Amino acid sequence: MVLDVDSTLCGIEGIDWLAARRGGDVAERVALETEMSMRGEIPLEAVYGRRLSLVKPSREEIRLLAELYQKSLAEGAVEFISKWSQGGIVVALLTGGIRQAILPLAMRLGIPEDRVQAVDIQFDDVGSYVGFDHTSPLTTAMGKRDILASLSLPRPMLTVGDGSTDLATRDVADAFAAFTGFAARGPVMRHADFIAASFNDLDAIVTNGI
């Protein structure tokens, strides 16, 4: 199983939370661009770097975001991921989120670092934002699909997410589940093989087979 993080595994959009700390126009613009890209109305590559350049998150803010990810886990996520892992199901994270904020979450869930695909950002010696990994496919609309195609993960493979970048993985996965527990996006739901409003729903999909 391959899980998105923001608004799927966790109930926040990391970049929106960081932008909210800036307030005003920055918060509004970033939230709007996030929603438009997740609905597939604009390509992610058109806004990914721009949002980060507006926010310029510090190392300390990324540490706080890492804590918030763990506090905002979807109900049942810890228990079900443990159950799936113990049952031999490989669980991986595939996200356009910030790697440094997501790795502590993965560690808590027992997901090894080599099964976490996310975007690195860089800081200077005092912890100020410098930039991000421009070479990462995960900063593009079809990046998740391309990354997934390059990985050797067991089949059958279920991908789970809430946005258009997650829906793109349907091209290479055996099935895609639109997760609606935090954000229900019509364009994504219409093309999904399954709809899951909770991790209970995901467990039912896994149990019944895809």
Q: Is 4 known to be catalytic? A: yes
Cα-based distances in Å from 84 to 1, 2, 129, 144, 199? 9, 12, 37, 22, 11
Our CA angle for 46, 166, 158, nearest 5°, is: 165
Cβ within 8 Å of residue 188, ≥6 positions away = 38, 39, 40, 161, 162, 163, 164, 166, 167, 178
* Chain center to CA of 168: 13
**What is the bridge-based pairing of β-strands 92-98 and 121-123?**
unpaired
**Cis omega (within 30 of 0) on the bond before 156?**
yes
Give the Cα-Cα-Cα angle 133, 138, 59 (nearest 5 degrees): 45
Identify whether 25 is a catalytic site residue: no
Catalytic site residue from 4, 16, 162, 166: 4
Which one is catalytic: 6, 16, 162, 166?
A: 6
Tell me which residues are annotated as active site. Answer: 4, 6
